[in-house]
Structure 1
Amino acid sequence: MLSISWQMMLLALLIIPLSLFGVVFLMKNSQKYFLSQQTSLGLLNGHIEEMYGAHEIVTAFNGQQKSVDQFETYNDQLYRSAWKSQFLSGLMQPLTMMVGNLGYVGVSILGGYLVLHQVIAIGDIQSFITYTRSFTQPINQIAQSMNMLQSTMAAAERVFGFLNEAEVLPDTSDPVPVSFEGKSLIQGQVAFENVRFGYTPDKTVIRDFSMFVKPGQKIAIVGPTGAGKTTIVKLLMRFYELNGGAIYIDGHDTRTFTRKDLRSLVGMVLQDAWLFEGTIRDNLKFGNPDASEAQMVKAAQMAHVDHFIETLDHGYDTVLGESSSNVSQGQRQLLTIARAFLSDPKILILDEATSSVDTRTEVLIQKGMDALMEGRTSFVIAHRLSTIRNADAILVMNEGDIVEIGNHDALMKRDGFYTKLYNAQFSGEEE
């Protein structure tokens, strides 16, 4: 092109900034719609997966219409963002082609002028236009694939947003030992000091929580749903990092232990019973792989699950299926309680541990738990307040703060928030 005419080449070069300006302008205006499209697509896919996974629950509670309405809302959001992004992105190729054609017209006019003045031959104009078309072809190809590129960029932005989340803090390089020659060095003293925490920066769940627990004490935590009861024990296990304050075990900040050592001190029985695919033996020994057969059987007996296991064809070698669907919810919970017995922890956390068993079994388990909690620091989260009347101290929480503290009799005499919770469950009954 330069060998034919430098004037015509300068005119052809003007196509590049004009095309780039149009592409950048359309990209800036369409990229936000591509991001919105990816977000809406994620919400739509998540909703579909959730509804299919919980199909029985949705049907049982007549939630089909609500599910369809929610689907239509997400689908409308996806439709609006998708057509706007596709429309604006689809303008790029026509725009670059129009600018390129204008360049051809300019080259032809300038070439005709140069031919009249005998600067170039008429055949040079035809050659130059061919070169110009080859010159602008990559720009047209980029514009043609910009739709896919922008969609990829929007998806990549969501992926990298996830990858850029803060990593888990590494364990300390000089951890406090928890045992020596097989003997535990921890007594079980627990202290919360001005603990503050929120799952998201804009919503604080625990505002200013302070508490001191002596070794061997049984502490009950009660309060309405969302008060922060389960969050407290999750922070003790260091499943989440604190936003403020500190938690101490035997005077040592929990951050001075390794996570493995810290969690080896604590036994948990949660409201949602968790068992993995494998034999009952493997599940029971999960927290204490070195336990003997006799210890395992004794733990099962204390949890009142031994008789059920013996009735199975393969006993302790019975394989639990995926999601433990071949045993009932109550039996799963009994097995997790037996696992807690076998792990022999210094600190025990019971989060509505008997919520899925019948009243008779609950009484038996309660006796076993009393034996398990003897000499151990215990945190009991309970909604049925009759199960924690013998606790050394009852923490009454509301909206992330301790509103009352004391034993059952003292709190009832105070006639405060705890009394209202208790009376709501036992209205019309005599103690």
Structure 2
Amino acid sequence: MLNDEYKHVENNSKLLVENDKEETIQKDSIITVGEEERKSIKANKILTVEKESITTIKNDCEEHILEDFITIVKDDLKTIVENNVIKRIKGTKTEYIEQDVKKKYLQNMFLQIGKDYRLDVINSYHLKANTVKYQANTIELEATNGISLKCGGNVFTVDPSGIFLKAGTVDTTSSNGGVSAKDVAKVEIPKPLYEKVRVVELIPTITKQDDLTQVLEYEAIVEKFYNGVWSKTTDLTPTQEAQLQWYFIKNNDESDKDILTDNPTNDNITINGLKMSVTLEEENIYKVGHAHCFVSNSEEEGYTQTQLARYLEVEDIVSSHISQEEGECIAVLNVEEPRQEELAQIRWNIEDTQREIYNGKETIIHNLKEEKVYEINFLAYIDGKIQDAANTRLTFDKNEEKNVKNNTTMNNKQES
């Protein structure tokens, strides 16, 4: 195409590519999505940006990574948080830093350790503070070379050679109670709580559809994880509701639960909070509807299925002579593996007369001689849909070899 292309689609648009798709845009690409955008990638995703990448999220951002998360930064990493930072690690945390670490806290720092604390310093350890206070049940100071307490010109030393006291005055009867260091108030550091959701069940209003006009409805039973406990809830934030992934897939296999979106249909699907409603297209030919609702794992979260009603039509009649006087006709339906209740809807007209004896029969064997005409006309149709009947003709002549006169589908128009 040498000139510009403009495409306007007033309603939905679906594209099915059964193999690879490659798209090359020589300049800019701009995509504007008015509401939500969802992508489902079954295998890997590889994104290469040769220059800068800028992402702006105006509201919350939440990521769910079910296995490992590795970030490799070749140069510097800078993170600026204008409010609070809360981290909760359920397992262990290991930091291995090969060069210097610099930290500056402009206000208070509180550190609480539930069990033991050990600090190993290979070289020097220097602590400078206005006041220092140690409080413990037992304090033991151990040094290989010596320990000294200094204040002004006074020195008290313990080393391997003995105990030494250097002081201008030593008063063993003084009432001096010693110095006091400032107390730092103990603060409570609460366990950071977080919420996540999962779908534990998907409940259908009906498990077997009687006719195509019945609306299928499904309700997701959701649990929310809070303070270490999963509990059922119907109160989800808009962000949590957006995490729910809904799918309705149709096929003819009850055991095929794979989520494949390469079979687009014209079903009307509406999602409202924890509920999904489905109105099937008028010409549905699929036997089973698979409903999925999940946050992260389609195999372990909400799933159910519904036996669907199908649009039925006799597409063709396969006819043949099985003897000199008898003809066989087989009605070919438009659906795979017809159920018994679907076969029961087959009706037969022979020579413009309905033959109730053949009601519900997929295959009939009819005595041609009884019709007393040379050419016998057969119609097969679904009850109430004679206008969509399939048609064939067999001939009978006691003096001739019998064969099929023709074998046609009426294509929504009965032959006269």
Please indicate, yes or no, whether the TM-score normalized by the shorter chain is above 0.5. no
Task: Compute the TM-score of the two structures, normalised by the length of structure 1.
Answer: 0.18
Task: Compute the TM-score of the two structures, normalised by the length of structure 2.
Answer: 0.19
Structure with larger RCO (C-alpha < 8 A, sep 6+): 1
Q: More strand by proportion, 1 or 2? A: 2
Q: More helix by proportion, 1 or 2? A: 1
